[in-house]
């Protein structure tokens, strides 16, 4: 009987099923759904999971040669930091299974001109040479008052000028001589206000948010209150953070080839990643859950942060070789960006999974929502959560054949805005159900499972994660620990709103 029930429920996840219920919120203290900056016009029934990477560097992420007298601006040294042309990155992304990618070089004095005059023409060439890849113009913003963030610019005839305006006006390392007034938290809020006012607003995602942290809960350049301020200022632009940072190939380097920091996953030495994920995401009931507990539409992604491949002197994988951000979208620029903006996203390391579909629905099936959506239910309703995961056969790009060992259904309450802007805990978050092989039905590569939340009377959310290992919670990663052995996937939440 359990098999029949699961198969029936899993049918709700097939393409063509009803779209998620994303109606507007009804009352305070709920946050409104992320407003659509430019509706994509896509048919939800035609959306599929599209793998991508929003944090990829080319040889225009330069190093800098100081002038002889120190009075003139330093000279940009092409390939001084990252070393691959944009067309090479695009080709390698496609070869590693990506459908979309963002070119994101970081800056320095007058780097905005380099992006406009050198990098942008390479983007155009890469689009012609790898026509199957959706290639966005973007940058890694040297973020005022923080560290780094991905800026993803919508594809429009004016995309080059839009990027130039953002970098020239707000990148903290742009002016020469350096100007401390460009490196304030308020200037980042100003940048976001500028971006949200554009006819086609970009998407901004905080990169490796805890890389400068000194320990668990001891944040560095990026603090919880800053991310709240960004999201408050521009909820349709500042929509999330890297859940899993790049630079994850460092542990594959021999000890004599790199120092301890660069042999840590993500180069997170002082506050290690947990199962390859940043502490702001990986800690159950931690910062991410505190944001979701406010009702914020705050999404996570994963990236390569590719500069140099680990086989050629770097500590990185190629885009898509290890980390993938899947967006549910039709194969178009507008709908991929719409999916990122609205949280139709799951992330995975090591190709542990290639599809994750989650549906929350009422008992009669009349109301339903998918990843990134919201389900409105009458008070006291039962809500069934159906999870369907594709565990692909064959080897990943590391030569391994990982299998899903466990899937966790996580639940938390939404209690409204936090009084403490630096809050990083949601004490209501808990693992509602741990699914193992005895709890799901396998049909080929697909695993189906379901769980019913009884008598729902509190606004909340559900989210899903899974692993190939046995750790109940992800543990701190160590120098030299192979990233291929400790794999996790995370899906963005579904909100449940009680009427």
Question: What is the pLDDT at residue 496?
Answer: 98
> For residues 261-273, b (16+ Cβ closer than 10 Å) or e, as one string?
ebbbbbbbeebbb
User: Quick one: DSSP state of residue 116?
Assistant: I
**Exposure of 296 by Cβ count < 10 A (0-12 exposed, 13-18 middle, 19+ buried)?**
buried
Q: How many CB atoms neighbour CB 41 within 10 A?
A: 10
Question: What is the pLDDT at residue 41?
Answer: 84
CB within 8 A of 463, min separation 6: which ones?
292, 410, 490, 491, 492, 493, 494
Question: What is the pLDDT at residue 7?
Answer: 42
Question: What is the pLDDT at residue 84?
Answer: 98
Question: What is the pLDDT at residue 24?
Answer: 33
> Do the Cβ atoms of 482 and 448 come closer than 8 Å?
no
User: Quick one: DSSP state of residue 453?
Assistant: E
What is residue 499's three-state secondary structure?
coil
Q: Where are the alpha helices (DSSP H) in 311-359?
A: 333-341
Cα angle: 38, vertex 41, 43; to 5 degrees: 145
Question: What is the pLDDT at residue 26?
Answer: 33
Closest CA to 72 of 147, 205, 177: 177
CB within 8 A of 293, min separation 6: which ones?
412, 413, 414, 415, 418, 426, 428, 429, 461
Give the DSSP H/E element, type plus range, for residue 243.
strand 238-244
The residue ranges of the chain whose pLDDT is under 70 are 1-38
> Do the Cβ atoms of 155 and 137 come closer than 8 Å?
yes
What is residue 265's three-state secondary structure?
helix
Does pTM top 0.85 for this prediction? yes
Residue 268 phi, psi dihedral angles, 5° rounding? -95, 85
Question: What is the pLDDT at residue 257?
Answer: 80
Which domains occur in the chain, in start order? 2-498 (3.20.20.140)
What is residue 327's three-state secondary structure?
strand
For 80-139, how does the pLDDT look when each residue is reduced to its tens digit (9 = 90+)?
999 999 999 999 999 999 999 999 999 999 999 999 999 999 999 999 999 999 999 999
């Amino acid at each position: 009987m359990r098999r029949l029930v699961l198969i029936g429920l899993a049918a709700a996840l097939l393409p063509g099923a009803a779209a998620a219920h994303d109606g507007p919120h009804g009352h305070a203290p709920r946050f409104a759904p992320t407003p659509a900056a430019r509706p994509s016009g896509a048919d939800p029934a035609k959306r599929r999971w599209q793998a991508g990477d929003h944090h990829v560097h080319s040889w225009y992420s330069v190093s800098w040669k100081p002038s002889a007298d120190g009075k003139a601006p330093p000279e940009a040294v092409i390939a001084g930091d990252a070393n691959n042309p944009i067309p090479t990155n695009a080709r390698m992304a496609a070869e590693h299974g990506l459908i979309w990618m963002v070119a994101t070089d970081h800056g320095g004095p007058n780097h905005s001109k380099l992006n406009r005059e050198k990098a942008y023409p390479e983007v155009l060439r890469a689009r012609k040479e790898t026509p199957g890849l959706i290639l966005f113009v973007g940058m890694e913003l040297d973020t005022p008052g923080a560290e780094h963030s991905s800026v993803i610019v919508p594809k429009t005839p004016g995309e080059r000028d839009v990027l130039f305006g953002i970098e020239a006006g707000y990148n903290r390392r742009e002016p020469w001589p350096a100007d401390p007034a460009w490196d304030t938290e308020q200037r980042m809020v100003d940048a976001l206000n500028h971006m949200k006012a554009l006819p086609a607003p970009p998407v901004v995602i905080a990169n490796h948010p805890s890389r400068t942290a000194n320990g668990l809960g001891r944040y560095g350049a990026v603090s919880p209150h800053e991310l709240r301020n960004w999201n408050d200022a521009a909820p349709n632009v500042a929509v999330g953070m890297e859940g899993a940072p790049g630079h994850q190939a460092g542990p594959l380097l021999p000890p004599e080839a790199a120092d301890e920091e660069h042999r840590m996953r993500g180069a997170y030495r002082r506050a290690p990643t947990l199962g390859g994920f940043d502490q702001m995401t990986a800690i159950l009931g931690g910062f991410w859950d505190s944001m979701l507990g406010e009702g914020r539409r705050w999404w996570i992604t994963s990236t390569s942060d590719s500069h140099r491949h680990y086989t050629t002197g770097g500590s990185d994988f190629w885009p898509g070789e290890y980390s993938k951000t899947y967006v549910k979208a039709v194969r178009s620029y507008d709908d991929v960006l719409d999916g990122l903006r609205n949280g139709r996203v799951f992330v995975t390391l090591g190709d542990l999974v290639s599809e994750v579909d989650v549906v929350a629905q009422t008992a009669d099936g009349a109301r339903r929502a998918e990843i990134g959506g919201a389900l409105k239910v009458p008070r006291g309703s039962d809500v069934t959560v159906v999870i369907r995961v594709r565990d692909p056969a064959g080897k990943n790009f590391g030569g391994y054949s990982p299998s899903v060992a466990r899937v966790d259904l996580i639940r938390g309450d939404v209690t409204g805005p936090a009084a403490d802007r630096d809050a990083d805990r949601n004490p209501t978050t808990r693992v509602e159900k741990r699914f193992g092989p005895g709890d799901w039905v396998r049909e080929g590569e697909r695993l189906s499972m379901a769980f019913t939340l009884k008598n729902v009377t509190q606004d909340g959310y559900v989210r899903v994660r899974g692993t190939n290992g046995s750790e109940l919670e992800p543990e701190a990663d160590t120098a030299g620990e192979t990233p291929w052995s400790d794999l996790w996937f995370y899906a963005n939440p579904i909100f449940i709103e009680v009427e």
